[in-house]
Amino acid sequence: MATRCGPLTWDSPPPEAEVRWVYQPVEVQYPDGAWELGRISAWWTDGAGETWCLLRTVPHGNRPQWLRYDPESVRLLPTEGI
């Protein structure tokens, strides 16, 4: 996960001016078929055009982590009425 600003981690985030802060509920599906609810709190696009998201899954309470966005495994959920 290296970018032009070094490793993309909680302690070494992308440039603040390039981050778009949001509140987006998601469903994360793992390769073994298991899933968890979570939320994306920020989006960022790197110099190569790859989209990254700051993702936290709900049950574990771990720190959010920057991950390359994969719409096949991270499904966006509605933020208002269904």
Extended strands (E) in 1-82: 2-3, 6-7, 20-29, 35-45, 51-57, 65-68, 74-76
The verdict on residue 81 lying in a domain is no
SS3 at position 27: strand
- CATH, residue 49: 2.30.30
The verdict on residue 44 lying in a domain is yes
Local confidence band at 12 (pLDDT 50, 70, 90 cut-offs): confident
Q: Please give the tally of structural domains in the chain.
A: 1
pLDDT of residue 80: 82
d(CA 54, CA 39): 8
pLDDT of residue 11: 72
Residues 28-80 pLDDT 10s: 999 999 999 999 999 999 999 999 999 999 876 678 899 999 999 999 999 88
Local confidence band at 21 (pLDDT 50, 70, 90 cut-offs): very high
Q: Identify the domain containing residue 28 by its residue range.
A: 18-76
pTM of the model: 0.80
